[in-house]
Amino acid sequence: MRERVLASLRALLAVIGPLPAAVLAGIVLALFVPAPEDVRLAIGFGATVPLWVTGASLVFLDARVWRAALALAVSTAALALAVAARG
């Protein structure tokens, strides 16, 4: 029973967990890339989905769910601080 719960938590974390970090990474790219505004928007939006898929793959392959959750929380906090420092 415990293995099923952990497997479902791992799948849930893999799908939903990297989304905030990927969105914030797209925002950071859109803010900091030295290009015209429309190009920055396209780069930030275009990078969000590949970053989300990469993060989901890495989280799902991680053997310990808590370690993946901690890594996602730290990276999301770092990106949020970068956005807050910009604005």
pLDDT: which is higher, 49 or 80: 49
Give residue 69's pLDDT: 74
Give the whole-angstrom CA distance, residue 55 versus residue 14.
8
Question: Taking 80 as the threshold, does the pLDDT of residue 86 lie above it?
Answer: no
Q: Which pTM was predicted?
A: 0.75
1: its two tokens: 């029973």
User: How distant is the alpha carbon of residue 37 from its chain centre?
Assistant: 23
pLDDT tens-place string over residues 4-59: 988 888 888 888 888 888 888 888 888 888 999 999 999 989 999 998 998 888 88
Give residues with Cβ within 8 angstroms of 62, minimum separation 6.
68
- Find the domain containing 42 and state its range: 2-86
Number of domains in the chain: 1
Give the orientation angle of helix 65-86 with respect to helix 2-16, to 10 degrees: 20
Rounded distance between C-alpha atoms, residue 25 and residue 27, angstroms: 5
